[in-house]
């Protein structure tokens, strides 16, 4: 049996991260929850969880934004969920603050009359990376009102809710998903296992 992947989970201090922590542990990671920038920047693999609003998360990472971006662009394996994905972009309509800019573009409000978008939705994906072994049009669980609108590279999956949006993206060793894999049954568990296996090979 493979050794557990040492995985550092960034605690923004704005919401519950217990579910994603437990899901990663089930996928084969040994998760430590951290708030100290030095420990985050020393991580062998990192999770940006899916709780909070863009402005608050951007403010949380602002003091070490440049260093974190450098590590991500330098090959640190990282997995981002929902708001964690959004903060990887340059900016957001949701609020002020500067994103990490690992992915180009702006996060925008979904173009649907009923928000937030809560519940299951099918996802079209590239069948690689996070989605290896995941059936095409598999359903994942979403809870959000904003999403990256850019559906070109680095987008690796799309969903539709009042228009297409980026449901996943990847660049360097950074994988990001707009849905919540920890709430997405077998398909979500497969995505997390895929990341753990990938990061274990790089860590």
pTM above 0.85, yes or no: yes
108 membership: H or E segment, kind and range? strand 106-109
Round the CA-based radius of gyration of the chain to a whole number and report it: 15
Q: How far apart are CA 181 and CA 106, in angstroms?
A: 23
Cis peptide before 116 (omega within 30 of 0): yes
Tokens 């928000």 sit at which residue?
115
Residue-level pLDDT, tens digit, the chain, 203 residues: 578 999 999 998 766 789 999 999 999 999 999 999 999 999 999 999 988 899 999 999 999 999 999 999 999 999 999 999 999 999 999 999 999 999 999 999 999 999 999 999 999 999 999 999 999 999 999 999 999 987 777 999 999 999 999 999 999 999 999 999 999 999 999 999 999 999 998 86
56: phi then psi, degrees, rounded to nearest 5: -70, -40
Contact 37, 14 (CB under 8 A): no
What amino acid positions are annotated as catalytic residues?
A: 82, 180, 182
Between CA 11 and CA 161, with CA 134 as vertex, the angle to 5 degrees is 70
Q: Would you state the pLDDT for residue 15?
A: 66
Q: Would you state the pLDDT for residue 150?
A: 72
CA 178, 180, 184, 189 torsion-angle sign: positive
Q: How far apart are CA 135 and CA 125, in angstroms?
A: 9
Q: How far apart are CA 127 and CA 134, in angstroms?
A: 7
> For residue 14, with 0-12 CB atoms within 10 Å meaning exposed, 13-18 middle and 19 or more buried, which class applies?
middle
- What domains can you pick out in the chain, each with its CATH number? 5-202 (3.40.50.880)
Q: How far apart are CA 50 and CA 21, in angstroms?
A: 11
């Amino acid at each position: 049996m493979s050794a557990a992947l040492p995985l550092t989970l960034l605690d923004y201090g704005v919401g519950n991260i217990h579910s994603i922590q437990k899901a990663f542990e089930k996928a084969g990671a040994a998760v430590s929850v951290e708030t100290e920038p030095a420990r985050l920047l020393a991580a062998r693999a990192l999770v940006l969880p899916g709780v909070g609003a863009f402005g608050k998360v951007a403010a949380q990472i602002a003091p070490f934004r440049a260093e974190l971006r450098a590590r991500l662009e330098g090959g640190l394996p990282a997995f981002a969920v929902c708001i964690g994905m959004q903060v990887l972009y340059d900016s957001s309509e949701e609020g002020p603050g500067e994103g990490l800019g690992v992915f180009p573009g702006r996060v925008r409000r979904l173009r649907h009359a009923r928000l937030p978008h809560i519940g299951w939705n099918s996802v079209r994906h590239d069948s690689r990376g996070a989605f290896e072994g995941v059936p095409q049009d598999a359903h994942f669980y979403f809870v959000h009102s904003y999403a990256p609108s850019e559906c070109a590279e680095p987008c690796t999956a799309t969903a539709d809710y009042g228009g297409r949006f980026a449901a996943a993206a990847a660049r360097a060793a950074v994988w990001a998903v707009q849905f919540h894999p920890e709430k997405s049954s077998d398909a979500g568990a497969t995505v997390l296992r895929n990341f753990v296996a990938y990061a274990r090979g790089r860590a």
